[in-house]
Each structure stands twice: as C-alpha cells, then as structure tokens.
Amino acid sequence: MRNLRLRWKESYSPILLVSPAIVYIFFFSIYPTLTAIFESFQTPLSSNTLSNYQGLIFFHLTNAIENTLIVSFGALAFQFFLAFIIAGLLAREFRGRRVFLTIVILPWGVATIVAAFVFSNIFPVSPPFGGYMNSFLALFGLPPVNWYSGYNSRVLVLILSDSWKNTPIVALILASGMTGISQEIYNAAALDGAGPIRRFLFVTLPNLRNFILIALVIRGISEFNIFAIPLVLVEYNPPFLTTLAYEFYSSTSSIYYSYAASTVLLAIVLVFTLVALKLRRTA
Amino acid sequence: MQLLSRAMQYVVVAFMSALFLYPLYILFLISFSPIQYTLGSLRPLQWPEGFTLQNLVLALQGTNLIDPMLRSLLTASLVGAIALLLGIPAAYGLSRLTSTLANTISTLLFFVNMIPALVIAIPVSVSFIDLHLYNTVVGLALAQGLIALPFSIFLLLGAFQSLPKDLENQARVDGAGMLQTLYTLLVPLSKSAVAAAFLISWMLSWDEFTFATILSPITPTLPFVIYTNIYRGNILASSALSLVLTLPVIILTVMLQRYLRGEYLSGGLHG
C-alpha cells in the first residue's frame, strides 16, 4: 500500500511542480490569444463577421502584410549574412576571441527602443541629409542621402536598424552549431581541393541545417513582430501589421480592427513556424 | 599564406567589432559631447570633441526620471521573482517527467514564446481595466513574465540536468521529499544558474517595450518614457534616458555572458 502511494507520488508530483507555470501560461497567454482571435470576428453590432478584415483592407492591410514580410525576410537575410561571418570567426581560436565574443553579444542586451533611438540619429528624419551616416559618407567624399525620401531607402534603414540588435542571437546559435563540426571534415575537404566557398556550401551548411532552422524560427518569429523600430523611425508609413494594430488600439477608433490585424500577424507567425519546423523534422 | 589568412582574420574581426560598437559609441557621443558637434550640426562629428555633462544635467532637469526608473526597477524585480517562483519547480518537474510529457510541455512553452506580444497585450489590457491591473507594476510584471519564463525554465533545466543524479537519489533515499530535495539540495547547488535566470529575466523586463506600451502607458516604465521623448523631439532627454537604461544592461551582459548560449536562447528547440 505504502509502495503504491509512493509510486503515485513519484509519477504525479512532477506534474504538480510544472502545473503553476502551465496555469499561468494558460491565463496570460493562451486565453488572451483565443480572445483576440474570437473578437476579431465580432463588431459592436454583429457577430461572426468578416467585416473587421474587410474594413482593414481599406486601411492598407495588404500593404502592411507585404511590408512586414519584406522587412522581415530582408532583415533575416542580412542578419544571417553577418552571423555566418561572426560564427565562422568564433569557431577558430585566436588571441582576443573572448573580447570579440563580448563585443558581439553586447547589442543583444540593449533595449530595442534604445537601438531605435540611436539609429534615429544615424539616419535622422530631420534634418534631411543630416545625421551620422551622412557625416560618415562625407568623410569619403560621398554625397549625402535623404533616407526617408522613398520606400526602398526607408525599408533599408529599418533592416539595418533592426539587424544591429538581433544579429548576436543568430551568431550565437550558429556558433554553437559550428563547434559540433569536426575540424577533420574541413581538412579532408581541403585535401580534396575544395576552396573556402565550396567548403562553406558543402560542409558547413548541411552540417548546420538544424541550427540554421532554429535560428530562422527564433528570429523569424520576432522579426514579424517588429514594432518599436518602425514606430520610432517611420511611424505609420509604410505600415506594418504591428503598427497598424497599435494605431487602431491607441486611437480607440475600433479595437476590433486591432484584433483583426494582430490575428493576421499570429497566422503569419504560425504558418512560418510550422513550415520551418517541418523542414527540420525531415532533416 | 597562413600569415596572410591570419592577418585577414584580424581585419574582419576588427571590422565586425567596429560595426557592433558603433551605435553604442554614438550614444555616448551624443550624451557627452557639446551639442554643437552632435545634434546641432548637419554633419555631426564622428569623434569626441570636448566633454560635457551639461547635456545630461539639462535633460534630467526637465524630465521626471525617478518615478519611471523606480517603476522599471520594481517591475523588473517582480518579473525576476515570477521567473524563479514558477520556473524553478517547473524546470525540476520537467527534469523528472517522462520524455514524452516533458517534450509536450517544452513544445507548449515554445509556442507560448511564439505568440506575438501585441496579440496577447491588447485583450489583456481590456481585462486588466476590469481587474484594476491596468497601469500597475504588478499587471505589467505578470505580462512580461511570459517573456522571461520559458527562458528561465530552459536555463534552470540545463543546470539541474548537469548535476549528478546520484546526489538527488541519495537525498530521496534518505527520506527527503521532492520539494525538500529541490530547495535544500538542487537550488543551492545551482545558485549561479538561479542568479543568472533572475538577472536575465530582470533584464528582459527592463528592456521590454511592447507590453509596457500597451499595458502601462500612463504610469510608464523607462522604455516608454524614452519613446514619448523621441516622439516629442526631446532628443537630449531621450539620449540621457537611453544611457540610464543601457549602462546596467551592458554590465549585466558582460557578467552573464556564459549563460547567453544558443541552446537557452532558442527557447527549447534542440539542434
């Protein structure tokens, strides 16, 4: 009898230990999420309607989806480019490696709003043609640029500003994958006459596949949530899903539009994650 | 050839270091250089010219720094407490569960991490108004805890798993209950990981913008005050506040560097 009770305790008490966290997550994450999805199909006058979504299309929903995807994938590409270089360096032993690691990690800790503030001085809205990037270009005799004159340069500014803070996490994940690839494979590939580019393509990339996908999921998810950076640098033009939701929330014109915009955001995040995880499983 | 590639390597290291330090350097430049060389100029200087505390003094005279700072401190400490209070038992529970169940729960945690803060924050703000938690430190901390909890659980789980299993079994054989084993044996043995989980959670809250913007705009924490100052064009105040926000975080990041590993940061996904 005592034995049985002990066994009961053994198998159930771990669940009891985990349950406060689960209850908390249910109340503060899952329940509100379901509420947001449900409410996105309501209006003060009718229920189970698509009218919020239809209304949002009038307020540039498709545009906001496009911009969210363009900046997200642009930023991901740029961050992975930098992160591969950094992780490649960190995989080697050299004097000053630890200092380099510290420098590279630093931006991770800096608040997004601070990154947004600093980059609003590097690429200022006013004065046009001013700011630190233009004064840097001037050192090389290059002409100044008005960063907010067109769509493309606005997107570029957002991608650059976002990438500073977020490259470190990609680099750290890739670096932890690279330490797992043995030097012997590289040596063997080099003996077979593979140059650095081919070694990267045929040794590094396939061996890092899962780490790349993990970093892609982690960063991709937060990339779609890009909020403070556009809010500070370009306000609502071009619009993003987050800034669209916030605009309707803060102007109180219709909170239901915010629910609809954030539900679209959630759907994009979900689809992206499921696709990436699927790729990982088949690896 | 070998020498050349070593030299190349240092060139790339130096270039990348410069790239990553540059924005922080600009923050210090704006904060401590006379304004005619920085914000007052169409072509701000790339190097320090003169040194002044005038900017900070001027900025902080016109802004209420103390209230938001205390609020930020309090919120961040509460988030750290939530992350440990819920995270320690959850991490230990996970380490004792069968792998199928543990994996299910890890996946759940990962999906929670995945839900956009904005999706959660807007309905939560509506119910917080009814619960009188809107614009309160406690309410904001409860929401920000969501960001810190998964991270804290995975960090602690890693620490508990690295302890020898025999130690724990011995304690159990000696008649210690599960909670007793956890709090009198495992937690003291992993105290540096516990401290790291607290501090990193603290930091995630200290920096957090989205929940803070939606849930506590009237009694704001520092990040939202920085935003309103940028919005109103108070660049000097924004830079002073940014500096206040960034200095502790730089120290913490350097201190906690060895806990900032890919496997904890990836929220339960494994390679």
pLDDT in tens, B81-137: 999 999 999 999 999 888 899 989 988 888 888 899 999 999 999 999 999 999 999
Cβ pair B254:A249 closer than 8 A: no
H or E element in which residue A162 lies: helix A151-178
Question: CA of B11, closest CA in chain A: separation in Å?
Answer: 11
Judge whether A242 and A265 are in contact, CB under 8 Å. Answer: yes
Digit-coded pLDDT (tens) for A236-246: 989 999 999 99
Task: Write the residue in A94, A118, A214 that is nearest to B271 by C-beta.
Answer: A214
Q: Choose the mutation target among A22, A35, A121, A236 for the interface with B, i.e. most B CBs under 10 Å.
A: A121
Which chain B residues contact residue A104 at CB under 8 A? 16-17, 20
Is the pLDDT confidence value at B234 over 50? yes
Residues B221 and B71: beta-carbon distance below 8 Å: yes
What is d(CA B73, CA B63) in angstroms, rounded to the nearest whole number?
Answer: 18
Instruction: Give domain status of residue A42, yes or no.
Output: no
On average, the pLDDT of chain A sits at: 90
Whether the Cβ atoms of residue B55 and residue A142 lie closer than 8 Å to each other: no
pLDDT at residue A91, rounded to an integer: 87
CA gap A209, A211 in Å, rounded: 6
**Contact A100/B114, CB-based, under 8 Å?**
no
More confident residue, B166 or B75: B75
| Cβ within 8 Å, pair B254-A175 | no
Residue B270 has pLDDT above 60, yes or no: no
Give A101-114 as a DSSP string: HHHHHHHHHS-HHH
Give pLDDT, residue B240: 93
In a domain, A261, yes or no: yes
* CA angle, residues B236, A232, B125, in degrees to nearest 5: 110
pLDDT of residue B118: 94
Determine contact, residues B94/B157, Cβ cutoff 8 Å. yes
In a domain, A13, yes or no: no
Min Cα distance B158 → chain A (Å) is 15
- Domain of A145, CATH number, reads 1.10.3720.10
Please determine, for residue B271, whether its predicted confidence score (pLDDT) is greater than 50: no
Residues making up chain A, counted from first to last:
283
Rounded to a whole number of angstroms, the distance from the CA of B57 to the nearest CA of chain A is 19
Percent of chain A, pLDDT > 90? 70
CB A114 to CB B122 under 8 A? no
B205 pLDDT exceeds 80?
A: yes
CA gap A147, B209 in Å, rounded: 25
Instruction: Tell whether the model's pLDDT for residue B77 goes beyond 80.
Output: yes
pLDDT in the model for residue B156: 94
Among A7-11, A14-18, B1-5, the least confident range: A7-11
Predicted confidence at residue B266, as pLDDT, reads: 66
Give one word for B41, left, alpha or beta, with left for phi > 0 and alpha for psi -120 to 50.
beta
Q: Which residues on chain A are in Cβ contact (under 8 Å) with B108? A: 22, 25
Mean per-residue pLDDT, B216-242:
94
**How close B130 gets to chain A, by Cα (Å)?**
14
Task: With CB atoms and an 8 Å threshold, state whether B89 touches A20.
Answer: yes
- For residues B71 and A208, the model is more confident at B71
- Shortest CB distance from B116 goes to which of A121, A232, A266? A266
How would residue B267 be classed by pLDDT, with cut points 50, 70 and 90? low
Give A 60-119 residues with CB within 8 A of chain B.
Answer: 82, 85-86, 89, 92, 94, 96, 100-119
Give yes or no for residue A44 having a pLDDT over 80: yes
pLDDT tens for B41-73 read 889 999 998 899 988 888 888 778 899 999 999
Mutate to test the interface with B, among A40, A95, A106, A252 (most CBs of B within 10 A): A106
* Cβ-based contacts of A133 with chain B (< 8 Å): none
Q: Is B50 left (phi over 0), alpha (psi -120 to 50) or beta?
A: left
Instruction: Give the number of domains in chain A.
Output: 1
Domains contained in chain B, CATH given: 2-52 (no CATH), 64-265 (1.10.3720.10)
**B182 vs B171: CA distance, rounded Å:** 10
Q: Which residues contact B262 (CB under 8 A, 6 or more apart)?
A: A172, A173, A174, A175, A176, A177, A211, A214
Could you tell me where the beta strands, DSSP code E, fall in chain A? none
Which residues on chain A are in Cβ contact (under 8 Å) with B105?
18, 22
- d(CA B102, CA B154) in angstroms, rounded, equals 12
- State which residues form the domain around A155: 60-281
Band of the pLDDT at A2, cuts 50, 70, 90? low
Residues from chain A that touch B69, judged by Cβ atoms under 8 A, are: none
Q: Is residue A267 one of the residues assigned to a domain? A: yes
Size of interface A-B (CB pairs under 8 A): 279
Among A181, A171, A279, A269, residue whose Cα is nearest residue A215? A171
A179-190 average pLDDT score: 81
pLDDT tens-digit series, residues A259-283: 999 999 999 999 999 998 888 766 4
**Per-chain mean pLDDT for chain B:** 90
Residue B268 predicted with pLDDT over 50: yes
- A175 to chain B, closest Cα gap in Å: 8
Find chain A residues with C-beta within 8 A of B270's C-beta: 214
Residue A271 domain-assigned (yes or no) = yes
Query: Are the Cβ atoms of A132 and B44 closer than 8 angstroms?
Result: yes
In a domain, residue A100? The reply is yes
The predicted structure's pLDDT at residue B169: 84
pLDDT for the residue A192: 85
B165, pLDDT greater than 50: yes
Q: Is the pLDDT of residue B182 over 80?
A: yes
